[in-house]
Chain A
Amino acid sequence: MNWRAVSGNIGTILLIISPSFLIPIITGIIFHEEGITLLISYAVPMIIMILTGFALFQYGRYELERLRDIEAYFSVSLGWLIVAFFGSLPYVLSGTLPNLIDAYFESMSGFATCGATAIAPPSNGDYLDVYTHSIFMWRALTQWIGGIGIIVISVAILARILGGGVSLFKAEASMHAMAKVRPRVVEYARLLGVIYVFFTLLETLMLKIAGMNLYDALTHSFTTLATGGFGTHAKSIGYWDSVLIEVIVMVFILVGSISFVLHYRLLKGNLRAAIRDDELRLYAITLSVATIAITFNLWLNHVYSSFAEALRYASFQAISIHGTAGFTTADFSSWPVASQLILVILMLIGGCAGSTAGAIKVSRILVLLKIGAREIKKIVHPRGVMPIRIGDMIVPEEIVHKISAFFFAYIISFFVLSVMLTFTGLDIPTSLSAVATTMGGVGPGLGAVSATVATISPAAKVILSFSMWLGRLEIFTALMLFAPLWHRG
C-alpha cells in the first residue's frame, strides 16, 4: 500500500469539501445567529479540516500520480469516514447533538445520503423553533455533497469493479477508443456535476413558486437530488400538505434516482436512450406495481377515506422509498403490514445505477432476474450459450459474477447487521427495517426507527452508522478499508 498516495488523495478530498462550511456560516449571518457560535460551530472545523487536508496533501502530493486502483478504493473508503467525522463537529460544537455518536450518525446519514436522523422532533413546536437555520442548512448540504460525490465515484470508479455502472459508463466508453477512457472520466464527472447543479436550481425555483420559502426550497432541493431525505420540519414534506409540492418533490426524486448519464443523453436530445433503457423500464414497472398494491391495501383497509387520497400517499411514499430519498408525507409504520413489507422490499432494491440512490440498484436486480431466467432455460438447453443482455449490450460474464457476488454480500450483510441490532434489544421489524433503510440510504424505518433513531441505544447507532457507510460504498469498496490486512507490497 502506497500510504503517501492514499494520504495525498484523502488530503485532496478534504480540501475540496472544506469550503462548504462557509454556506452554513452565510446562512447563520442571514438569519442573525450569534457570531461566536457560528465561528465555533463551522469556522473551527473548517480550519481544522483545511489544515489536516493540507498536511495530508503535502505528505503525498508527489505520489498522487502513482495512485493504483487499490489505493483509490482504500482512500474513498477511509475518506468517507474521515469526512463524516469533520461533518459531525458542527453538531457537537453547536450543541445540537452533544454526544459524538449521535453527531457522527447524523453526519454519516448526511454524507451517505441516507436521511435517518438522530435528532428527536421537539415536543414543543418544530425543528427550527428549537434548532438553528445554519445547522439544518449544514445537514442538507452534507447530503448534497454526498450525492455528487457518489455520482462521480460510481461513474469513475465503481463501474470498473462492481458493474453497477456498467449500463451507463462502459456502454458509452466502448463507443470511443478505449485508450481515451481516463480523460473522458474526468470530462464526464464534470458534465454530470453540471447536470446535478442544474436540476438543484430548477427544483429550488419550482418549490419556491409552489409556496416554500427560499431557505426551505434550497435545503429540500439539496436533499431531493441527493435522494437523501433530510428536511427542515418534523413532519417532513407532510408539513406543507400540498399536492403541488409533493408532485414536484416526487418528480425530482425520480430525477435523482435515475442514471445521470441518462440525463446527459436526454439533455443532448437522445430520447430513444430513455425509451430503450431496460433499467428505467424495470424501475417504472416495480414503482407502478408497488404503488398500485399499496394504494389498494390502504384503500381496502380504510386507512384513507377515498381512493384518490390513498393513491396520493401511496405514490409519494413508494417513490420516496424506492428512490431512497426517505421523505414522508405519512407515517407508514402505522400502515397495514402488507404496505410496510412492500416498502421494505423497495428499500432493498433502491434506484438506478449511476444515480444518487442507494441499495442494490435496479440494474443489478435486472441482471439477477436474467441470471435466474437463464438458469431455468439452461435446464432445457444444458449446452446453450446464453449471454446476458441489457439493451443491446452484452454483460460480460465477469460482471455477471461480480453482480451475483455483490447481491450475496449485500444480503449477508443485511442479515448479519440485523442480528447485531436485535442484540441491542430491538425487535425484528425494527431491526430488519433499520438495516434495510440505512444500507439502502433511505432514512425512515419501522417501529422504533420510524421517525428518528434518537431513542435507540448508542451501540445500535454505531451499527447503523456502519451500515450506512457499508451500503453507500457498495460493500466491496467499503471493505477495501481492510485491504492492508491482506494486501502487501
Chain B
Amino acid sequence: MYAVIGGAGEMGYQVARILLREGFDLAIIERKGERIDEISNLDALIVRGNAASPRVLKNAGVDRANIYLGLTGSDEANIVSCAIAKAKGCRTIGRIESGDYLVEPVSGSLSRFGVDTAVCPDLVASRKIARMITTSYLVDMEIFAGGKLQVFELPIRDFESFAGAKVGDIPMPPGSRIIAYVRGREIFIARPQDQLRGDERLIIVCTDMRTIGAIGEVTGDKNLQTRVSKIMIYGATRVGIDLAKSMERRCEVILMDDNEESCRKAAESVKDALVINGSATDENVLEEEGISDVDAFIAVTKYEETNMLASLLAKQYGAKRTVALINKGAHKSMFERVGIDVAISPRLATVGVILQNIYAGTAIAMSVMHNAELKIAEMYVDASSKIANRILRKVKLPEGATIVGILRGDALLEIDDSTHILPGDRVVIATLADVSTKITNIFERRKIL
C-alpha cells in the first residue's frame, strides 16, 4: 500500500509512524523546513511544499498512491489536496476543523469535493468525552463488537495490594481481564506470570459495564461507579459547546468561559445547559457554581496549561473526576501523572479514527490506545483466512499480541484454549504497535497461486 500524507504536524506524524510500522510505503508533504528536520527520522519520502499544489502532490507520487490523507492545519488546503488526489484515483481522508464545513465528527458530506471521509478533531474529542461520561465511568474507553466489549485504561490506585502481585493472581471480576499494562512510558501485553510494581496503568477488557464498579474496587478506584448527574465544562470552545449540547439532556451541565462574547454565542447554541461567564481558575466562581457536587469537571479551553490548572483546582474543590484537553499528545502522561484523571488530545483521538478508516476494508473497527502504542482491531475471519477453522491453542500469536474476544453472530464467545475459530467470526485482537503487521497476515487470505 502506498499512502501520501499532506502535513506533518502532530497528527500527520503519528499517522505516519503507525502506517510505517504497518508496512506502508509513505510520502509526506510538509511546508516548514524546521518541521522537515524533525521528522527526517521517518523512513518515508519527504517532499517540501504546499500540499494543495498539484505539482507538489505529483512529486510525492500521488499518481500511484492508494490513499491520500490531507492532515494540514488548513481546511481549505486539505479539501483542495484531497480533490486533486481523488482525481488521481486515491481514496481520500481529510482533516476538517471548521464548523462551517463539517458538523459531524466523521462524515462523507464533503465527498463531492473529493474528501471521501472528513474528520473533525474537535468533534471526535468531544464525542469521545461524551461517551466516556455517559457510560459514567470516565475512563478512556473504546467499544468493540457493537458495544459488547469495552476496553479501557485505569490507573492502579491501590498500590499496596498490587505491588509485587502477579497478573494472573489479581482477582478480576467475571467477564473482565487485564490485557495489557503501561509501566512508565512502555506498554506490555499482560501475561499471567508478569509481576506488577503497583504504579502501572492497566488496560482492561470487560464484557459488561455493570461490573466496572467491581473492577474499581479491585484497583482501588472508589468513584468509578458514580452516576453522572452534574458536569462542569470549562471553555466555550467548539469541543466545549458540542459536549454541552450532547450532555445537556442527560445531566445538569454548566458551561463556563472567561470571555463574555464566547459565553453569549455558547448560550445561544445550547438549550438547557447553564452558561457562566467566569474563570474556572477563580475559586469563588467554582464554589458559586457548586464545584463540590460536580461528578466530572472537563477543561477544554485552547490553553492546556489553563486546562491543567483548572482541573487540578477543581479536583481540590471536590470534583469527582477531571478531564483536560491537551494540545500535544506527548503531554498526556504528564497530565495524568499530576493527578488529572483523563487527558485527551483531539489530534491523537483523531489518529485512531483515521486509522479506522484506512483499515475500513479489512478491519471492522479499530482503535489505538496509549499514544498509539497499543492497537486494538476487530478483524473479520474470512473463509480463506489463515486463522479460520483453527483451535485457539494452535493459533501462534506473536509476542506482544493477545486475543481480547471473539464474536460469533451477535454473541460473544466464552473463550478458552479449545475454542474453535470459524469463518464469519469477528476477532478482537490487541497488539503492540511494532508487531501489528504480523497479525494482519494471519487474517489475510491464503494466496491461491
* A contact set with B: CB distance below 8 Å: 381-387, 394
Contacts and interface: CB of A to CB of B under 8 A. Distances in A.
B355 interface: no
6 contacts: A381-B276, A381-B288, A383-B278, A384-B277, A385-B260, A385-B275
B382 interface: no
B264 A385 contact: yes
B27 to A, nearest CB: 45
Interface in B253-306: 260, 263-264, 266-268, 274-278, 285, 288-289
A398 to B, nearest CB: 13
B268 A386 contact: no
A394 B268 contact: yes
Nearest to B254: A381
Contact of A385 (B267, B288, B289): B267
Contacts of A384: 274-277
Nearest to A382: B288
B326 to A, nearest CB: 27
Closest 9 A-B residue pairs measured CB to CB? Answer: A385-B263, A385-B275, A383-B278, A385-B267, A383-B276, A387-B267, A383-B277, A394-B268, A385-B277
B262 to A, nearest CB: 9
B257 to A, nearest CB: 9
B288 A383 contact: yes
Q: How large is the interface on B (under 10, 10 to 19, 20 to 34, 35 or more residues)?
A: 10 to 19
A394 B270 CA distance: 11
Contacts of B278: 383
Contacts of A385: 260, 263-264, 266-267, 275-277
Contacts of B260: 385
Contacts of A382: 288
Contacts of A383: 276-278, 285, 288
Nearest to B289: A381
Contacts of B274: 381, 384, 386
B275 A386 contact: yes
A381 B268 CA distance: 17
Nearest to A377: B274
Contacts of B289: 381
A382 B276 CA distance: 8
Contacts of B263: 385
A384 B273 CA distance: 10
Nearest to B278: A383
A426 to B, nearest CB: 49
A13 B138 CA distance: 68
B329 to A, nearest CB: 33
B92 to A, nearest CB: 34
A387 B264 contact: yes
Contacts of A381: 274, 276, 288-289
Nearest to B236: A385
A383 to B, nearest CB: 4
A326 to B, nearest CB: 40
A213 to B, nearest CB: 54
Nearest to A392: B271
Given A381-B288, A384-B274, A387-B264, 19 more contacts: A381-B274, A381-B276, A381-B289, A383-B276, A383-B277, A383-B278, A383-B285, A383-B288, A384-B275, A384-B276, A384-B277, A385-B267, A385-B275, A385-B276, A386-B274, A386-B275, A387-B267, A387-B268, A394-B268
B19 to A, nearest CB: 45
B328 to A, nearest CB: 31
A382 B274 CA distance: 12
B138 to A, nearest CB: 25
A387 B277 CA distance: 13
B254 to A, nearest CB: 8
Q: Residue among A382, A384, A387 with the most chain B CB within 10 A?
A: A384
A387 B263 CA distance: 10
A394 B264 CA distance: 11
Which of A381, A384, A385 is most buried by chain B, counting CB atoms within 10 A of its CB?
A: A385
Nearest to A383: B278
B324 to A, nearest CB: 22
A210 B276 CA distance: 59
Contacts of A394: 268
A276 to B, nearest CB: 14
B57 to A, nearest CB: 38
A381 B288 CA distance: 7
A295 B268 CA distance: 42
B410 to A, nearest CB: 38
A383 B268 CA distance: 16
Nearest to B279: A383
A386 B254 CA distance: 12
A382 B266 CA distance: 17
A186 B268 CA distance: 30
A383 B234 CA distance: 14
Most chain B beta-carbon neighbours within 10 Å: one of A381, A386, A387, A394: A381
A402 B431 CA distance: 65
A383 B259 CA distance: 12
A146 B275 CA distance: 45
B71 to A, nearest CB: 35
A394 B275 CA distance: 14
B201 to A, nearest CB: 37
B189 to A, nearest CB: 49
A384 B266 CA distance: 12
Contacts of B276: 381, 383-385
A381 B260 CA distance: 15
B29 to A, nearest CB: 40
Nearest to B264: A385
A382 B289 CA distance: 9
A385 B266 CA distance: 9
A384 B277 CA distance: 6
Contacts of A386: 267, 274-275
B83 to A, nearest CB: 29
Contacts of B288: 381-383
A382 B278 CA distance: 10
A396 to B, nearest CB: 10
A231 to B, nearest CB: 47
A382 B267 CA distance: 15
B335 to A, nearest CB: 27
Nearest to A394: B268
Contacts of B266: 385
Contacts of B277: 383-385
Nearest to B271: A389
A376 to B, nearest CB: 14
A406 B222 CA distance: 56
A390 to B, nearest CB: 13
Nearest to B282: A383
A386 B289 CA distance: 15
A384 B288 CA distance: 11
A386 B273 CA distance: 10
Nearest to B265: A385
Nearest to B260: A385
Contacts of A387: 264, 267-268
A221 to B, nearest CB: 42
A394 to B, nearest CB: 5
Nearest to B276: A383
A394 B288 CA distance: 26
A152 to B, nearest CB: 31
A471 B132 CA distance: 57
Nearest to A389: B271
Contacts of B264: 385, 387
A384 B289 CA distance: 10
A383 B232 CA distance: 14
Nearest to B266: A385
Contacts of B285: 383
Interface in B198-222: none
A381 B289 CA distance: 7
B74 to A, nearest CB: 29
B330 to A, nearest CB: 35
Interface string B176-212: 0000000000000000000000000000000000000
A102 to B, nearest CB: 53
A385 B255 CA distance: 10
